[in-house]
Amino acid sequence: MDDNRIWFGSDGNGVPRIKKFLTEGQQGLTVESMWWSKEVGNNDSAKRELTGLFDGKAVFDTPKPPSLINRMLQVSTEEESLVLDFFAGTSPSAHAVMQLNAEDGGRRKFIMVQLPEPTDESSEAFKAGYKTIAEISKERIRRAAAKIKEELTTKDTNNTKKEEADLFAEGDKETFRDFRAFRGSKLPDLGFKVFKLDSTNIKPWEVDFDMTERTLEDFISNIKADRREEDVLYEILLKYGLDLTLPIDEWIMDNGKLIMKDEKHSQLSTVNSQLVYSIGMGALIICLADAISLEVVEGMAKLKEELNPEIMRVVFKDSGFKDDVVKTNAVQILKQAGIVDVRSL
């Protein structure tokens, strides 16, 4: 106290802390600036912000402040950087990336990694239905994205209302529509995908001379019974070394023709027709359906002409063809269309 080495906060009422001077620290490079909590936040402000996102529920006690991570990103990333947080927690890093992109027009991407660590059964998070920290993390990204979109839309509406009014008053309806479309395109990409680490979807082949007939029948399909088409689809992307965020279009048979399954055709049944996935505008075509007919294969060949990728690769499920004749002819049909990289699982 006599040396004035105890600090009681900026208002004199804070928790007492011992002052340390830079000269007393480790030798070497010292910081050239200080980031104060009033500028970049702290655990208390981070908790309040997270509680606000979750409608007043304190779902996590010690979140990191997104404003602090935002400042770190400003000095350490470029507009196209990829940000990895291997201990994501409630994913404030994802929140900060989306916020900074909204501020400077960047196109940063993020990868958040979080174990499904169980929440305490007595916690507010558990009572609110979040059984793991990973579930809180996913919901936090959704809510943060919605908030950022709302803020940007409100700000953009206020800034451009007069411009729109002038265009509309001039009667230039085409320019008015183009202007509104341009405004919508300025919103940053706030979408994300969620993946869970698991074992392969492919059954391992185990030699057993005591195999029963039933066991052999189980191996007719080499895909595990509890796996969906989407599970196998993303494993194929991983094995090809492709980006999991590549655009994936779904195509479906309709009156003998493959058409894109968009909102207009979302009600088309997939029961009696096969779903075809197009990844990266036709760079990779995948069909994991059963009883694939030559009609579907011919539709894929036409996709080569329609999408016109530089190289098109096709993957089927080995047991997915209607019969061996279809399987043999499928390869020849695709070859005639210039597709020579044809594989089966």
Do 89 and 232 belong to one domain? no
For residue 43, tell me if it sits in a domain.
yes
CB contact at 8 A, 279 and 242: yes
SS3 83: strand
- Per the structure block, which two tokens stand in for 162? 């007069």
Q: Is the dihedral of CA 251, 256, 257, 263 positive or negative?
A: negative
For residue 207, tell me if it sits in a domain.
no
**Maximum C-alpha span of the chain:** 95
For residue 225, tell me if it sits in a domain.
yes
Do 89 and 227 belong to one domain? no
The answer to whether the predicted template modeling score (pTM) of the entire model surpasses 0.75 is no
CB contact at 8 A, 130 and 139: yes
User: Distance between CA atoms of 260 and 277, rounded to whole angstroms?
Assistant: 10
What pLDDT score was predicted for residue 269?
45
What pLDDT score was predicted for residue 146?
94
Do 96 and 193 belong to one domain? yes
How far is the CA of 185 from the CAs of 114, 156, 189, 192, in angstroms? 31, 12, 9, 18
For residue 327, tell me if it sits in a domain.
yes
What pLDDT score was predicted for residue 26?
65
Do 257 and 140 belong to one domain? no
For residue 235, tell me if it sits in a domain.
yes
Do 182 and 47 belong to one domain? yes
pLDDT digits (tens), the chain, 345 positions: 898 899 998 888 888 988 887 777 666 665 667 888 889 999 999 999 999 999 999 999 999 999 999 999 999 999 999 999 999 999 999 999 999 999 999 999 999 999 999 999 999 999 999 999 999 999 999 999 999 999 888 876 655 555 555 545 555 545 545 544 444 456 788 999 999 999 999 877 665 656 555 555 555 677 888 889 899 999 999 999 998 988 899 988 777 778 887 655 555 444 445 789 999 889 999 999 888 889 889 999 988 888 899 899 999 988 888 888 999 999 999 999 999 999 988
For residue 328, tell me if it sits in a domain.
yes
User: Distance between CA atoms of 246 and 279, rounded to whole angstroms?
Assistant: 7
Do 189 and 61 belong to one domain? yes
Please give the DSSP secondary-structure letter assigned to residue 194. -
Do 183 and 218 belong to one domain? no
Residue 323 structural domain: 213-344
- Per the structure block, which two tokens stand in for 262? 């968009």
Count structural domains, the chain: 2
Do 147 and 283 belong to one domain? no
What pLDDT score was predicted for residue 180?
47
For residue 136, tell me if it sits in a domain.
yes
Which of 197, 230, 255 is the last residue in one of the domains?
197
Do 62 and 127 belong to one domain? yes
Which of 153, 169, 197 is the last residue in one of the domains?
197
Do 111 and 181 belong to one domain? yes
Give the residue among 282, 279, 297 at the shortest CA–CA distance from 239.
Answer: 279
User: Distance between CA atoms of 92 and 107, rounded to whole angstroms?
Assistant: 17
CB contact at 8 A, 180 and 166: no
Do 123 and 169 belong to one domain? yes
What pLDDT score was predicted for residue 123?
94
What pLDDT score was predicted for residue 226?
86
- State which amino acid sits at residue 238: L
Give the residue among 48, 60, 73, 45 at the shortest CA–CA distance from 134.
Answer: 60
Do 119 and 174 belong to one domain? yes
| Structure-derived torsion over alpha carbons of residues 130, 136, 138, 143, reported in degrees to the nearest 10 | 110
Q: Looking up tokens 């003998």, which residue turns up? A: 256
Helix axes 66-76, 43-53, angle to 10 degrees: 110
Which of 170, 197, 224 is the last residue in one of the domains?
197
CB contact at 8 A, 65 and 38: no
For residue 21, tell me if it sits in a domain.
no
